[in-house]
Amino acid sequence: MIIIGELINGTRSKVKEAIAGRDADCIAGLAVKQAEAGADFIDCNPGTVGEQEAKDMQWLVETIQAATDKPISFDSPNPQAVQRGLEMYTGEAMPMINSVTAEPGSVEKMLPIVLEAKVNVVALALGEAGMPTQGGQREEVARQLIDRLVDGGIAASQIFVDPIISPLSTSPEACLHILQAIGAIREYCPECHITCGLSNISFGLPNRRLMNRAFIGLAMQAGMDSAVVDPLDQKIMAHIVVIEALLGQDEFCMNYIQAHRAGKLDV
């Protein structure tokens, strides 16, 4: 399971204040804690706009890189901010751009950046019709995006398809549609990764972490192999370890055993 640590996001009040005040200790601390907890990528979302977002992205990248060597996920719809972040990136591991969509102009704006930088890219199953509301819409848009990116020169293994997680509170069939889409995308492009913003499923509902933990098991069984999550949530990280073992993705249960010995399953 490829974990994208979600905590450095300017829409969070604490992080927003840290970015505005250039509190490097706060941002560096979040980066280190997520890396130590098992994050494979550190999400970097300034949460601002325009030129300010580019400046904030530059500062965040410099701060994160000084604290950890984990690759960064440049999380912004602003090509200028993404480009600035990539210019500052010095890591050896391939970073990620989050994201492109099937909306008019999105692929055209981001594709040259992805090709030049040779990075992973999150492909949101979001088309001209907006947020998917019916079964079958996610996988249809995802297939179109995959084809456009591959035809444009992106290796399938660099594509992280996000089927768009909509809240269960707004649609009782949302989870079923998402699981159907994950399975269809996995069948259509076995080499692609499938990711998501996990906690969206529980938005507006009580006991959100319980629902998130249940959902990730279903999604992994359907074919999802990545997620944007809070790696400091020890229970969900423990669940991921257990689910990987149960799905036959942990040879001889070695990761499970190591996690147990490290006390990571005592939650």
Q: How many CA atoms lie within 13 A of 206 on its CB side?
A: 0
The amino acid present at 217, given as its one-letter code, is: G
Give, in order, the Cα–Cα distances in Å from 217 to each of 16, 52, 127.
32, 39, 27
Give the per-residue pLDDT at 53. Answer: 97
User: Residue 110 corresponds to which amino acid?
Assistant: M
Write down the CATH superfamily of domain 2-261: Dihydropteroate synthase-like (3.20.20.20)
How many Å apart are CA 118 and CA 125, to the nearest integer? 21
pLDDT < 70: residue spans in the chain: none
Q: Residue 4 in contact with residue 199, Cβ under 8 Å?
A: no
Do 5 and 42 contact (CB within 8 A), yes or no?
A: yes
Q: In what order do the strands lie in the sheet with 2-5?
A: 193-194, 159-162, 120-124, 96-100, 72-75, 41-44, 2-5, 226-229
Residue pair 111/149 in contact by the 8 Å Cβ criterion: yes
H-state helical runs in 71-225: 79-88, 106-117, 137-151, 174-188, 208-222
If one counts every other C-beta atom within 10 angstroms of the C-beta of residue 237, the result is 22
Residue 74 dihedral angles phi and psi, to the nearest 5°: -80, 105
3-state secondary structure (DSSP) of residue 101: coil
Query: 100: buried, middle or exposed (CB in 10 Å: 19+, 13-18, 0-12)?
Result: buried
Domain spans of the chain, in order of start? 2-261
Supply the pLDDT for residue 129. 83
